[in-house]
């Protein structure tokens, strides 16, 4: 169903990242990826790509989400310490709360980033269905 791509890897990566930012299919960049918050469409309605077709895709999603949340927490910690004069405990509570909210907000992007990784790496896959 999904044609083998002849695009160079760099083109595929940048195209997929743009699609992720717009919550679109990483393969074609056009079809909607989600039917509701964090819930994939079964397949892209433009190119037919099946989403989350790998059995371990939730593990990849968790890894991407965890890494992004940790990076956010580190940056948030330094920002909170730099722009406020909160003592340690309140600063920790603010940082942890903001990081938890970020993690929830970022979840669909984590799913789609992992989907994009699958798409970019698995360029020669012909057994999509
Ligand atoms: Zn598509």
pLDDT at 95: 97
Q: How far is the CA of 31 from the centre of ligand 1 (A)?
A: 5
Is residue 65 included in any domain, yes or no?
Answer: yes
- Total domains present in the chain: 1
Is residue 63 included in any domain, yes or no?
Answer: yes
Q: How far is the CA of 50 from the centre of ligand 1 (A)?
A: 9
Compute the distance between CA of residue 24 and CA of residue 108 in angstroms, rounded to an integer: 11
- Domain hosting 91: range is 9-121
What does the pLDDT profile of the chain (129 residues) look like in tens digits? 445 557 788 888 999 999 999 999 999 999 999 999 888 999 999 999 999 887 778 898 999 999 999 999 999 999 999 999 999 999 999 999 999 999 999 999 999 999 999 898 876 454 444
pLDDT at 5: 58
pTM: 0.82
Is residue 95 included in any domain, yes or no?
Answer: yes
Q: How far is the CA of 32 from the centre of ligand 1 (A)?
A: 8
Name beta bridge partners: 50.
43
The environment of the single-atom ion ligand 1, i.e. residues with CB closer than 5 A, is: 25, 27-28, 31, 44, 46-47, 49
């Amino acid at each position: 169903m999904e044609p083998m791509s002849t695009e160079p890897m760099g083109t595929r990566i940048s195209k997929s990242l743009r699609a992720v930012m717009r919550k679109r299919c990483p393969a074609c960049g056009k079809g909607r990826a989600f039917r509701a918050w964090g819930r994939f469409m079964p397949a892209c309605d433009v190119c037919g790509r099946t989403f989350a077709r790998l059995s371990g895709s939730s593990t990849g999603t968790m890894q991407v989400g965890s890494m992004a949340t940790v990076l956010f927490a580190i940056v948030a910690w330094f920002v909170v310490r730099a722009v406020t004069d909160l003592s340690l405990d309140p600063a920790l509570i603010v940082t942890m709360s903001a990081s938890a909210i970020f993690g929830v907000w970022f979840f669909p992007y984590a799913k789609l980033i992992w989907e994009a990784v699958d798409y970019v790496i698995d360029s020669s896959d012909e057994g999509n269905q």
